[in-house]
Chain A
Amino acid sequence: MMNFIRNVSTFLENIIWLNIRRYRLLSFWRIIFFVINFMLFIITVMTVPQNILFYIFIIVTLSNMLFIYSRINSHTDSYILLRQLGASFIFIIFDNIIEIFIVFTFSVVFFLLLFFFIRINMISIMFILYQALVVILFIPAASLIVLINLDRQIRKE
């Protein structure tokens, strides 16, 4: 039992290590890009009338899906390399989930800071929570489907 816990802990530790290392390249510009996007997003939510928010929900969700799709596609080469080096399918899935989790944690921290300093309203909080749910639930599910298909294709060849 202790051995199992140790293995799982090393497994997760290694995946987190890998993801943190990934963000080191161009980290300054990534953060700037993220901050600008997030600020634009919050300003929109705060200034647009509530009856239009529903349509913004749809647009943002669709753009999220597009982002997810392109992100997964751009990861195909990394995925093939990891598989060729012997990575298990579970490893690939956890790698994806943790990558998203890090982005999400970063978003939440940034959001809380903004909430504290500029006191955004309740609707904005709901909106961002909704987005968070989409990100948390949808991205691993989408990644899983795409990766299963990719895995099948590679094995067929």
Chain B
Amino acid sequence: MDIKLMHISKKFKSVGSKFIKSLDMINIDINYGNYLSFVGPSGSGKSTLLNIITSNIKPTSGEIFWGKYRLSATSQKDIAYIRRTKFGIIFQDNQFMNDLSVEDNVLLPLVINGSPVGKKYKYYNSLMESLIIDGLKKRFPFELSGGEKKKVSIARSLINNPEILVADEPTANLDEASALEVFNIFSNLNKLGLTIVIATHDERFGRYCKETYFLVEGKIDSFKANS
């Protein structure tokens, strides 16, 4: 599924009747199989842009297309359906259900999607093994380190076989070794055909991505394509 953003702007209501402009006239095409990153300092609008791409928040103006679907003309029910079947999302702060074990948290998207959980155990086990976190299955989120949480979050985002992986600050609070591991996992996933969209302040991602957009104060300041 290709994604197209046309003239996207987003304003947030501030104190009183004032508005803060978070994004300003963003135009981007995210083609199937691409690997791109939005790089910029805090407050540049990266996370807002990711939330708009996944339709977690609506833009103030502009149009988003998920393949043939124009989101402004698509029902909430259909948007929710497409999000849970096509997208894998990695949140900045990972976000787990703390009363569920790692295994249950990873399987959660299947439960939401209405897929029979029992039939997916084989895929789940291979996923956990490939990310080298199969020893963490019975633990709870509060028992994990930052790097382990990130890997569990990656596993959860992949359990539904998504077409697009969206990650917000995937290397935040990670040490050098764990960050490198995340870079490698993403590169390998992209080689397998997964579209990857990342928001990061970590410019090292630029080396791994096919396209890098530099955001400054809600605008695309520059663009770099890697061969």
Interface, chain A (partner B; CB < 8 A): 7, 10-11, 13-15, 17-18, 21-22, 24-25, 77-78, 81-88, 91, 155, 157
Contacts and interface: CB of A to CB of B under 8 A. Distances in A.
Contacts of A13: 116
Interface string B55-82: 0111000000000000000001100110
A85 B110 contact: no
B109 interface: yes
B14 to A, nearest CB: 13
B87 interface: yes
B81 A86 contact: yes
Interface stretch (B25-33, B93-101, B189-197, B203-211): B93-101
Contacts of B111: 14-15, 17-18
A10 B56 CA distance: 26
Contacts of B117: 14, 17
B4 interface: no
B48 to A, nearest CB: 11
B110 A84 contact: no
A87 B114 contact: no
A144 to B, nearest CB: 17
A25 B114 contact: no
B114 A14 contact: yes
Contact of A81 (B76, B84, B97, B110): B97
B53 to A, nearest CB: 13
B114 A7 contact: yes
Contacts of A14: 110-111, 114-117
A24 B101 CA distance: 9
A22 B104 CA distance: 9
B83 interface: yes
Given A21-B104, A22-B100, A86 B113 contact: yes
Contact of A10 (B54, B100, B115): B115
A84 B91 CA distance: 10
B220 interface: no
Given A14-B117, A21-B104, 13 more contacts: A10-B115, A14-B115, A18-B108, A24-B101, A81-B97, A84-B56, A85-B109, A86-B80, A86-B81, A86-B83, A86-B85, A86-B112, A155-B76
A153 to B, nearest CB: 12
